[in-house]
Amino acid sequence: MAWSELPGFNEDALHEGWVAMVANCARPNAVIAPLCREVRQLALAEPDQQREWMMQRLQPFRIEPLVGPTEGKLTSYYEPVFDASRRPTATHTVPLYQVPAGLVAKRPWYTRQEIDTLPQAQAALRGREIAWMADPIDVLMLHIQGSGRLRITEPDGSQRTVRVAFAATNEQPYRSVQQWLVSQGATKVSLWPDDTKMWVAQNPQRVSQLLWSNPRYVFFREEALNEVDAASGPVGAQGVPLTAGRSIAVDRDSIPYGTPVWLASPGPTLPLARLVIAQDTGSAIVGAVRADYFAGTGAEAGRVAARVNQPLRLWALWPK
């Protein structure tokens, strides 16, 4: 495709996207790697210089599925921030777990319901707790987002913020809790997780049923969070920190990690036309024209991410 066919190409604030371009060069794919010296040199350049470089060194290719419509779907995710306790308390009773011993990659382990109910599953997880949280819906949200920050109260009463990053899953299928709520007659599920918590407040006896509708369970690893780490997002599947507003999760069978991508989505929630980098993946991100947009960290990013479900077009920006 011609550069003139990319919506908004002349209006994007490319210096913002260049942060993700530079981060991408920490672990570039083999095709992008030869360009990284120039990418770093242009980190402080004017957007017009960055735009001119892109036009000289990259070629846009429209991404389309082999069959089916050329327009895909954009959703969004974020890094939540929750309070937690290092020890269980009267209010903090829901654990976050490290990877249990004996978990084998690509081999199904206990389902979410079995983890909650079977003594053998609970025995395998005993001693693997990272921290405890107060709200099971917040824990479910952390599982769905795949990472987050915890403001942990330590046994001595001190507090510190850490990051919990995705480590593994129980290799069970992912099922949408929102779709389950719709199947149960819920009429308002768009403001996830607020609407889910409202439903729980009205149906407290059905909390376990809601949680167990998604068999997939996520295990985490704790990471220290210094000032540099706190300024960026969690590390994505590519192995580099995500950049708010400039990193996307993709189907890696269609788009290689580290690929610069032009993303265009008309809204209605979040109109976008900008440079992004394919740096992450997710179990629900399947297909060529499918992306999950990293909105950032905290409650406001979560409110944005909850509302994004809109049409999408993508162009891979491939070296000439």
Q: What is the pLDDT of residue 190?
A: 62
CA dist., res. 152 & res. 138, Å (int)? 15
- Delimit the domains of the chain by residue range: 3-76+232-319, 79-229
Handedness of CA 105, 111, 115, 119 (dihedral sign): negative
Question: Which residues of the chain are under the pLDDT cut of 70?
Answer: 188-192
pLDDT at 195: 81
Which residues 6+ apart lie within 8 Å of 225 measured at CB?
A: 149, 161, 162, 163
Q: Say whether domain 3-76+232-319 belongs to CATH 2.40.40.10.
A: yes
What pLDDT shows up at residue 166? 92
Peptide bond into 193 cis (omega under 30): yes
Q: What is the pLDDT of residues 243-252, one digit of tens each?
A: 999 999 999 9
Residue 189's pLDDT is 66
pTM (2 decimals)? 0.87
The architecture that CATH gives domain 79-229 is Beta Barrel (2.40)
Structure confidence at residue 159 (pLDDT): 95
Specify the 3-state DSSP secondary structure of 204.
helix
Going through the chain in order, the beta strands assigned E by DSSP cover: 58-62, 72-79, 81-85, 94-97, 129-133, 148-153, 159-169, 218-223, 247-249, 260-265, 272-280, 290-297, 309-319
Q: What is the DSSP string of 275-310?
A: EEEEEE--TT--STTEEEEEEEESHHHHHHHHH-EE
Q: At which residue do the structure tokens 């709200």 appear?
A: 135
CATH fold match for the domains 3-76+232-319 and 79-229: no
Q: What is the dihedral angle through the alpha carbons of 81, 111, 130, 292, rounded to the nearest 10 degrees?
A: -30
Q: Which long-range contacts (CB under 8 A, 24 or more apart) does 100-108 make?
A: 100/124, 100/125, 100/128, 100/219, 101/128, 103/168, 103/170, 103/219, 105/168, 105/171, 106/171, 107/171, 108/170, 108/171, 108/172
